[in-house]
Chains A and B, each alone.
Chain A
């Protein structure tokens, strides 16, 4: 007529949790990836721009991971311009990473590789998205200061 004791419950659950942590977080952490050629060490302005990217929630609608199923194949403006497959080494200097889970807009891992995406285009696009991309869902970020917009553009230019 014994019941499981409270100790069983707690110890058992904690063991499951600990095993989960070791396998999913511990083991991958042991093999720290080497920085890839796409990894960027951000300077102060780029880091500031990245903080604004997080602050304004850009990462809710734009991913920064090109999956193996679409790498060198997916289309944003021109065929195959989504970019190469993302690898762990791309992200070594990033905290947090901005992989994202939803694409209301295109993946931005390599946005500044696309020929038109220079500093001027980014600035115009951020202030008035529908002036350069008809049908865009993006909000206007004209409410940001010039300093903030420039930092954001500097960050976007590292995505290539």
Chain B
């Protein structure tokens, strides 16, 4: 028929079924989902640490004197230049990546109608991942830094991180190879591709054959941003699309509008030179990279159309169903991220916003507003199904949603505005640099206020999730309370 004959493997039930519809095999699976569950708990822990570090850095940028009044023994470790790599690496490799891994361990067996390839491997994977993150936390605060963005972790930790991705790939692929469902749903393709290719991207990007983790000269920067961009494409975006295409039908109750369009998510940009426009790199590479960036608008348009067609008729549900609201908000922000990314790759626009606070707004738009909102929805959806009951109160979820949404919006809009002003000031060529720094003061305050909202919202979330660790597990039964759909 066609190349993309993807099936939704829950044909016997509606896509949006709740906890109680579990069939016997699902209950058997649930007992095996414990590694997945602990992946999610660990992820939440690795959200709180870099989140609080981020808040402290926002405070520092508004009021730098704080670093002079800290206890002397702490000063080196709470210095901006050491907190920042910790903030970034733990947030993307700890928080986001561990939610992705935990969700894959939960989703893949269900979409292939089988059990996980190896629960033991998943536990070992979890242990290694947490060990890597503890290592990253300690070494980055000690100042052990390879000097390349998103690739700061030292050589040993790079190898451990590769091991984490490798073990996850074995579990995903092993589960697929023993599947009972002949046809593979599109999410499974995404996970299979992401887990394998990320190993290549990570290994090559981090220059793992050299313990210094870097190359000489200009090529180091080119490879660095090749890596940064493909880390984003191959791992975060592909994983995001895989999880979204699983969660969206389940939460909205509508099947994905078009599987053909869903496959378009695979198309991605593979040069990263649009992160270095007007820099010392070759101009032809910049132009090539910009062209690919513009082409990348096509899968974004496909996703946008597919998302809105799938959500048709389900928008009323977002009022009552907070996880669906998180997911839909994440998707809207994802669309915004992609188009903003295309806009930023235009050279004349880039000339103004590059190096400014705009960039920080953009990175939080991608990693917090788009990916994290989707992963919040994933945790709110998956944990109740592993626990066999829904421990989340509507009121907590509402606080979490609104605090993070409002806080983050203030944060991002402030930084974009600040970035445009900074860029204009620098390109005027007549203002001393320090004046352009002083002009940022009010924006740094608003950014801190927004960041505070995000941090408090995240603490609501972490508290709600982490308190389910200690509660005794109920035995799943036919009479278990249904979470239901409104």
Interface on A for B, CB 8 Å cutoff? 1-4, 6, 9-10, 13-14, 16-17, 19-21, 23-25, 28-29, 32-33, 54-61, 63, 65, 67-70, 73-77, 79-80, 85-88, 90-106, 130, 133-140, 143
- Distance in angstroms between the alpha carbons of A45 and B182 in the assembled complex: 63
A selection of 20 A-B contacts at a CB cut-off of 8 Å is A1-B5, A4-B3, A10-B196, A14-B197, A17-B197, A23-B271, A24-B289, A57-B81, A60-B81, A67-B354, A69-B427, A74-B429, A76-B433, A87-B280, A88-B218, A96-B148, A96-B213, A134-B434, A137-B60, A137-B437
- Distance in angstroms between the alpha carbons of A97 and B437 in the assembled complex: 25
Partner of A75, one of B197, B230, B282, B431: B431
- Distance in angstroms between the alpha carbons of A85 and B283 in the assembled complex: 14
Tell me whether A94 and B193 are in contact in the complex, defined as CB-CB below 8 angstroms, given that A25-B226, A57-B84, A75-B431 are known contacts. no
Spot the interface stretch: B26-34, B67-75, B107-115: B67-75
Closest CB of chain B to A82's CB: distance in Å? Answer: 9
Closest CB of chain B to A8's CB: distance in Å? Answer: 9
Residues A56 and B355 in contact, CB atoms below 8 Å apart:
no
Q: What total count of A-B pairs have CB within 8 Å? A: 210
Chain B, residues 211-224, CB within 8 Å of chain A (1/0): the string is: 01111111111111
Q: Chain A residues with Cβ under 8 A from B200's Cβ? A: 14, 17
Partner of A93, one of B65, B216, B272, B273: B216
Q: Chain A residues with Cβ under 8 A from B426's Cβ? A: 70, 74, 103
Tell me whether A92 and B217 are in contact in the complex, defined as CB-CB below 8 angstroms, given that A9-B192, A24-B285, A140-B68 are known contacts. yes
Partner of B360, one of A32, A70, A102: A102
Task: Answer yes or no: B313 CB below 8 A from chain A CBs.
Answer: no
- Distance in angstroms between the alpha carbons of A13 and B55 in the assembled complex: 39
Residues A17 and B427 in contact, CB atoms below 8 Å apart:
no
Partner of B216, one of A9, A16, A67, A95: A95
Closest CB of chain A to B30's CB: distance in Å? Answer: 28
Closest CB of chain B to A160's CB: distance in Å? Answer: 17
Q: Chain B residues with Cβ under 8 A from A102's Cβ? A: 355-356, 359-360
Closest to B426 in A: A74
Q: Chain B residues with Cβ under 8 A from A87's Cβ? A: 280
Residues B80 and A57 in contact, CB atoms below 8 Å apart:
yes
Q: Chain B residues with Cβ under 8 A from A79's Cβ? A: 429-430
Interface on B for A, CB 8 Å cutoff? 1, 3-5, 60-61, 64-65, 67-68, 72, 75-76, 79-82, 84-85, 143-149, 176, 183-184, 189, 192-193, 196-197, 200-201, 204, 212-224, 226, 230, 234, 270-273, 275-282, 285, 288-289, 351, 354-356, 359-360, 426-427, 429-434, 437-438
Closest CB of chain A to B281's CB: distance in Å? Answer: 7
Closest to B292 in A: A20
Residues A86 and B433 in contact, CB atoms below 8 Å apart:
no
- Distance in angstroms between the alpha carbons of A81 and B144 in the assembled complex: 33
Residues B81 and A61 in contact, CB atoms below 8 Å apart:
yes
Q: Chain B residues with Cβ under 8 A from A32's Cβ? A: 217
- Distance in angstroms between the alpha carbons of A20 and B223 in the assembled complex: 11
Residues B5 and A3 in contact, CB atoms below 8 Å apart:
yes
Chain A contact surface mostly: loop
Closest to B200 in A: A17
Residues B437 and A57 in contact, CB atoms below 8 Å apart:
no
Partner of A95, one of B85, B145, B204, B215: B215
Closest to B210 in A: A95
Residues B218 and A137 in contact, CB atoms below 8 Å apart:
no
Partner of A65, one of B65, B212, B272, B280: B280
Q: Which 5 A-B pairs have the closest CB atoms?
A: A57-B81, A20-B270, A96-B214, A67-B278, A55-B143
Residues A9 and B189 in contact, CB atoms below 8 Å apart:
yes
Partner of B219, one of A10, A28, A54, A104: A28
- Distance in angstroms between the alpha carbons of A101 and B84 in the assembled complex: 13
Residues B216 and A92 in contact, CB atoms below 8 Å apart:
yes
Q: Chain B residues with Cβ under 8 A from A91's Cβ? A: 217-218, 220-221, 280
Closest CB of chain B to A58's CB: distance in Å? Answer: 6
Tell me whether A103 and B355 are in contact in the complex, defined as CB-CB below 8 angstroms, given that A56-B81, A80-B429, A137-B64 are known contacts. yes
Closest CB of chain B to A74's CB: distance in Å? Answer: 6
- Distance in angstroms between the alpha carbons of A159 and B222 in the assembled complex: 22
Residues A24 and B273 in contact, CB atoms below 8 Å apart:
yes
Q: Chain B residues with Cβ under 8 A from A135's Cβ? A: 434, 437-438
Q: Chain A residues with Cβ under 8 A from B276's Cβ? A: 65, 99
Q: Chain A residues with Cβ under 8 A from B3's Cβ? A: 2-4
Residues B351 and A69 in contact, CB atoms below 8 Å apart:
yes
Closest CB of chain A to B221's CB: distance in Å? Answer: 5
- Distance in angstroms between the alpha carbons of A136 and B176 in the assembled complex: 56
Closest CB of chain A to B94's CB: distance in Å? Answer: 19
Q: Chain A residues with Cβ under 8 A from B432's Cβ? A: 75-77
Q: Chain A residues with Cβ under 8 A from B356's Cβ? A: 102-103
Residues B433 and A98 in contact, CB atoms below 8 Å apart:
no
Residues A55 and B145 in contact, CB atoms below 8 Å apart:
yes
- Distance in angstroms between the alpha carbons of A54 and B400 in the assembled complex: 37
Closest CB of chain A to B143's CB: distance in Å? Answer: 4
Given contacts A85-B280, A137-B60, 6 further A-B contacts (CB under 8 A): A54-B145, A73-B429, A88-B217, A90-B280, A102-B356, A130-B65
